[in-house]
Amino acid sequence: MRIPVLLVAVMLVLSGCETPPKSAAPVQPYPTDMMLWQIPPRPVAYDTLPGWDNADLAPGLSALRRSCAVFASRPPTQTLSRRAAWAGNAGDWQPACAALDVIADETSARAVIQALFTPVEIAAPDGASRFTGYFEPTFEARLTPQAPYTEPVPAKPSDLIATSGRVYQTLPNGQRRAYPIRAEITRNGVTPLAYAHPADVFFLQIQGSGRLILPDGRTLRAAYAANNGQPFKSTANWLLNKGWITRGEASMTGIRAWMDRTTPARARQAMNANPRFVFFTIEPEGDPNLGPKGALGVPLTPLGSLAVDNDYHPSGVPMFVQTTAPGLNGNWSGFLVAQDTGGAIKGPVRGDIYFGTGDAAGAAADTVNAPGRLWVLLPRVLAERIRASQAAETASAIGLVTVAP
């Protein structure tokens, strides 16, 4: 039978690889520097994952292969994340990534993934969780301003310096300050890459990337370049607090409709309620079937890529998500890979599901805003380290002592 043969192949690939390279640095089960992980990750069995047996693995598997190419290019001792040290280093992932080559079809994919990886449930100390959707929008644009395409798609300015997780503006006298908020940037002007409708540029910044369609039929990609380091604040919540939209309008579609019927000054006021400002570069469209590049530097896969908070999660790792997604016909479970991040994505059980390109993807993504559950799928050797470490901590806590023979 095919599956047992495949599993034997997997075990042969992994044999001798269960121990990380001797040069690898020791891996702690969870970080102690920032103490973000107040609830340690917990290895569990696959039969506890709701919807695992019926989840479509193909998009996530395609995304995982792209992550594996990144891991393969790194030194084996390179840590995936200082703040999620339990995720190990590149060398811990390379054997499992290599073993993916034996996958032949959907049935074998499920069996092989179960042989290679162990689900590790992630929980937030306050129980908070939230999953949303995002997409790559397409907008009409011009290379010179022509009404209503009057808002510049902003280029990254030369005075923006990002270092040590902070973003600064370099002043003419050489001093630095925090980079200005959205209102000040738009008031002072930016270097334009192209022009689009003001609301379209705003939502382009919310999504982080998009495609610009020119009158001559060409399509360009507006790719994320940088942001001003200011916190992301929800324009929907601001409008709700003002009483300018209803709860049913608190979506991209609803807010865009409100912007179209209100005055330009009031629309600008609403946009400036979010101090975060994103800058772009312009690239050729390239392969239209590929998504934009995420924070990991690889093209995003529809329903295969997930944006997460990198304060908690390393980029590139596979995950399993269970949430409510009206745009995916209700309750939904999916195999996704952490390949992006975003200013509004904050917390250990917080994810933004990438839906793809265009209006249909946007309409589906716009319906997703619900709590859920999250598991990271770790190579078995890393999950066993967590189990062993937690068992030792438990034994120490209750006073068990190992007596040497």
Q: Is 114 helix (H, G, I), strand (E, B) or coil?
A: helix
Q: What is the pLDDT of residue 397?
A: 63
| Under 8 Å between Cβ of 142 and 194 | yes
| Under 8 Å between Cβ of 102 and 13 | yes
pLDDT band per the 50, 70, 90 thresholds, residue 343:
confident
Of 261, 212, 258, the C-alpha closest to 235 is 258
Sheet harboring 176-178: ordered strands across? 160-163, 166-170, 176-178
Contacts of 125 (CB under 8 A, 6+ apart): 38, 39
DSSP state of 18: S
Average pLDDT, the chain: 88
Per residue in 181-212, pLDDT (tens digit) is 999 999 999 999 999 999 999 999 999 999 99
- The Cα 224–Cα 238 span in angstroms is 25
Q: Return the CATH fold of 144-284.
A: Ribosomal Protein L25; Chain P (2.40.240)
Pairing of strands 160-163, 219-227: unpaired
pLDDT band per the 50, 70, 90 thresholds, residue 399:
low
pTM score, two decimals? 0.83
Burial group, residue 282, by CB count within 10 angstroms (0-12, 13-18, 19+): middle
| Under 8 Å between Cβ of 224 and 278 | yes
Per residue in 357-368, pLDDT (tens digit) is 999 999 999 999
pLDDT score of 53 more than 90: yes
Pairing of strands 176-178, 192-196: unpaired
pLDDT band per the 50, 70, 90 thresholds, residue 13:
very low
pLDDT band per the 50, 70, 90 thresholds, residue 30:
very low
Percent of the chain having pLDDT more than 90?
77
Q: What is the pLDDT of residue 38?
A: 66
Contacts of 22 (CB under 8 A, 6+ apart): none
DSSP string, 242-260: HTSS-GGG-SHHHHHHHHH
Stretch 96-114: mean pLDDT: 91
Q: What is the pLDDT of residue 106?
A: 78
Q: What is the pLDDT of residue 4?
A: 46
CA 282 to chain centre: 22
| Most confident option among 26-30, 211-215, 395-399 | 211-215
pLDDT score of 22 more than 60: no
- The Cα 271–Cα 106 span in angstroms is 45
pLDDT band per the 50, 70, 90 thresholds, residue 20:
very low
Q: What is the pLDDT of residue 36?
A: 55
Lowest mean pLDDT among 1-10, 135-144, 158-167: 1-10
pLDDT score of 75 more than 70: yes
| Domain assignments of the chain as residue spans, ordered by start | 144-284
Stretch 49-74: mean pLDDT: 96
Q: What is the pLDDT of residue 3?
A: 43
| Most confident option among 21-30, 37-46, 82-91, 194-203 | 194-203
Report the 10 Å Cβ neighbour count for 166. 11
Q: What is the pLDDT of residue 37?
A: 57
- The Cα 79–Cα 17 span in angstroms is 17
Q: What is the pLDDT of residue 405?
A: 47
Q: What is the pLDDT of residue 392?
A: 74
Residue whose token pair is 């503006």: 169
Q: What share of the chain is helix, strand, coil (3-state, %, to 5)?
A: 35, 25, 40
